[in-house]
Amino acid sequence: MGKFYENKILFIIYKKVRKIIKKVFTKLKNIYKIKNKIIGIYLIE
């Protein structure tokens, strides 16, 4: 029973960590897109 409980806790932690990583990754991708747009504008001018 203890083993199953440990696995459940690990799974919950894993899911939470994955959510956080996804959020951070999305933010980084958005920052990268904005940077590229700014660089693009500079190159055009």
Q: How many domains does the chain have?
A: 1
Task: State the pLDDT at residue 2.
Answer: 75
pLDDT of amino acid 3? 84
pLDDT score of 1: 57
Cα separation, 9 vs 27, in Å, equals: 27
Q: Write out the chain's pLDDT in tens, 45 residues.
A: 578 888 999 999 999 999 999 999 999 999 999 998 888 888 876
CA–CA distance, 42 with 45 (Å, rounded to integer): 5
Confidence at residue 26, expressed as pLDDT on a 0 to 100 scale: 95
| Domain containing residue 10 | 1-45
How much is the pLDDT for 43? 80
What is the pTM assigned to this prediction? 0.57
